[in-house]
Structure 1
Amino acid sequence: MLVFCAMYINWLDTPSLYIPSQIPIKSRMIHTCYHQITNGVKDYDITYRRGVCGFFSRGYITPPKNATIILKDSQDKCVAYIDKNSTNGVILHTAGADLFGYGLFEQSTAKRMGLNLIKWLENELKGNNNE
């Protein structure tokens, strides 16, 4: 399941409701964590769009226990995670950021996330992914 929206209703038994960041948008940085989806993506290119900060995500989520965090903010809060333990499937959840389309029309490394995500999904569907 892919969840790219800010969840305000807890429909799963996971603590992943959207929490607005208290950091001013222009001071908040997004950081990639080592993962196939963020491979080759620069933190600057996620944080800034056409030189303006704050488009990617304006909040964070609390990941479930044992989730793989793939994006964090400048206060080490989770912006995106992958959860393979809470259900019988796989959940990729972001704090309101579309990993497919973000940066797609930019001349930056941010556009790699969409392609990386498709490759990761393909591996997941084939059962070849160990993170």
Structure 2
Amino acid sequence: MSATPSGRFLFLNNTAGALPVFLTNLVHHHFDCIQQYEADRLDWSCYDAIILTIHSDQRHLMELAGHFDAYLKSGGTIFFNGHVVQRFLPELCAFKPLPKRGKLDLMVHREKEHPVFEGIDSAMLSFRKGVSGFYGRGMNPPPEGAEILNSVGPDHWPLDWIATRSTGGRLFMHAGNDFWGFWMIGSPQNLPIVQRLFDWLATSSNINSSESVA
């Protein structure tokens, strides 16, 4: 079995502080953490994925639409966490919260097996100490043809999905709090799950570093 490629990721921060410390404990991978408002000063072509957190300034992300488009055309991945408010990419629609939020109404369902979620069952995503709703409480409606990985609620609203553009690049959407935060807050033993996410982003990367997207 071949070794996991070393991934390089651009983490766009919009809060005080630096990169979450546990991300520096991941093996193989390198993270460049910068304030979101400095992103347009960089060449993105060397990054396997651009990481957007739930705290992103989405109005400013709209100003970066041309950079996102060029980056996706070069084969890049945008990993978005949170609720879409501004359509900074044409595939996106505004977040819709579940109309009911009882314990069973917030159940998470596996729709398709995927390496990121290998060994993770619905109960692990649905409950924390018997309480539901931490992983996600609604959806960012996906475009037609998106690959639905996990859904939430009795009507199976898409919660985690991947959309691949015909012109190149892909979006990985998680309609909840930051993926790594869900696993790591109070549970440092879950670091291997976060590792698996970034291993997959690196292994499946199609970024073409010969094409500038600055």
What residue is the counterpart of 2:120 in the other structure?
41
Determine whether 1:106 maps to 2:187: yes
Q: What residue is the counterpart of 1:58 in the other structure? A: 137
Q: Which residue of 1 aligns with 2:202?
A: 122
Partner of 1:67: 146
Question: 1:88: how far off?
Answer: 2.8
Which structure is larger by alpha-carbon Rg, 1 or 2? 2
Choose from 1, 15, 18 the match for 2:95: 18
* Residue in structure 1 matching 2:159, options 79, 100, 123: 79
Letter in 1 for 2:93: S
Q: CA deviation at 1:20?
A: 0.7
CA apart distance, 1:72: 0.5
Retained in 2: the 8 A contact 1:64–1:86?
no
TM-score (norm 1): 0.82
Q: Distance in 2 between matches of 1:124 and 1:96?
A: 23
Give the 3 Å change call, closer, same or farther, for CA 106–50 of structure 1 in structure 2.
farther
What's the TM-score once normalised by structure 2's chain length?
0.52
> What CA distance in whole angstroms lies between the structure 2 residues aligned with 1:25 and 1:86?
39
The reply to whether residue 29 of structure 1 matches residue 110 of structure 2 is: no
Q: What do the CA deviations read for 1:43-95 (whole angstroms, capped 9, x no partner)?
A: 11111112211111111121112111111013211001111126631211111
1-structure distance, mates of 2:81, 2:136 = 10
| SS across alignment from 1:70 | strand
User: Aligned pair 1:89/2:89, yes or no?
Assistant: no
Shift in CA distance, 87/31, structure 1 to aligned 2, threshold 3 Å: farther
Superposed displacement of residue 119, structure 1: 1.6
Given the superposition, is the C-alpha separation of residues 17 and 87 from structure 1 closer, same or farther in structure 2, using an over 3 Å criterion?
farther
Rounded Cα–Cα distance in structure 2 between residues aligned with 1:39 and 1:18: 27
- 1:77-122 residue CA offsets vs partner (Å, 9 max, x unmatched): 10011111266312111112322232224388x7654222112101
Partner SS, residue 194 of structure 2: helix
Q: Which residue number in structure 2 is paired with residue 9 of structure 1? A: 86
Identity of counterpart residues, as a percentage?
23
Q: CA RMSD in A?
A: 2.3
AA in 1 matched with 2:95: Y
